[in-house]
Structure 1
């Protein structure tokens, strides 16, 4: 997908349900590098695997930081079924890493916090508007389309 600025107002070309997965970590004790570094390194490995094989269902992801100790990833998935299948697949990176991370968390209680949230947003319950922007978020995951004149947020959200 291009990162060039698209002139005017556009919207995400998504249809149907949208699956948004947020996952992150918080370094509770910086000095316990041996506890949080493996957790920190696990996500880029999984994202590389998912980026190499688009059939796994990850459409787009964005890495973010909330503070010097909090890191998270916003992911857009093709479906909840693909997300759950990847999480459970024994031949993919997630399942073995999840076991390692759980063991590390038990041994190093309170050194690193981990969390995730999953949202399945039904069609008609999401909206995206971009003005003079390159594709980001839903627009990057699903592509963009021109925003139709005269259509209001209440029309797009079906309120």
Structure 2
């Protein structure tokens, strides 16, 4: 299915005070160990289905890339939502993580990694040009670029949380 491409320039409005950005991935260090790589890779679709079925989970949206090093970029309401999912015994995360730590950690067959960033909305600047819905705009709000959002300098400080408004460097709403 072809995605609708939006001609022209667009930006995102996170419509919140901050966004938690979570990057997670795996690397097939020994790609010929297909069984080990497959075990780790198979866990992520179940997690994403679980999160998509539960809007209260706090995951706003995600993008994925596949290759020898696979990456998932996800946007969350808060770090607390992310931690709650990771520690929840009822979610499809904890069991695969424990299995990885018991069976594969330290073997060198498969590497896993993650990075978490708590980003104030006033520190976010995005632009999409001739793109389908993607990234933060897909996870939150997709807006055409216009007066007041034409340049990166204008976009970087404009989101000050609920209600919008431009923020100065000290966080005061202008």
TM-score range (shorter-chain normalised) is 0.7 to 0.9
RMSD: 1.9
CA contact (8 A) 1:86 1:94 kept: yes
Residue 109 (structure 2) pairs with residue 111 (structure 1): yes
C-alpha contact (below 8 Å) 1:135/1:143 kept by paired residues: no
Indicate the structure with greater helix content. 1
Q: What TM-score do you get using the length of structure 2 for normalisation? A: 0.81
Q: What stretches of structure 1 of length at least 5 have no aligned partner? A: none
- Residues 95-147 of structure 1: per-residue CA shift (max 9 Å, x gap): 111111111223x6111111001111112111111223221000100021122
Aligned positions of 1:1-159 closer than 5 A: 3-15=3-15, 16-65=17-66, 67=67, 69-106=68-105, 109-151=107-149, 152-158=151-157
Q: SS where residue 154 of structure 2 aligns?
A: helix
Number of corresponding residues: 155
The 2-side partners of 1:127 and 1:50 are apart by 26
How much does 1:150 deviate?
A: 4.7
Unaligned residue ranges in structure 2 (runs of 5+): 158-168, 170-174
Asked if the contact 1:35/1:104 (under 8 Å) is kept, the reply is no
Deviations 1:30-72 (A, max 9, x none): 232232211011111111111111211111111103x4x2111
SS of the aligned residue for 2:20 comes to strand
SS at the partner of 2:40?
helix
In 2, are the aligned partners of 1:76 and 1:138 still within 8 Å (CA)? yes
If the length of structure 1 is used for normalisation, what is the TM-score? 0.88
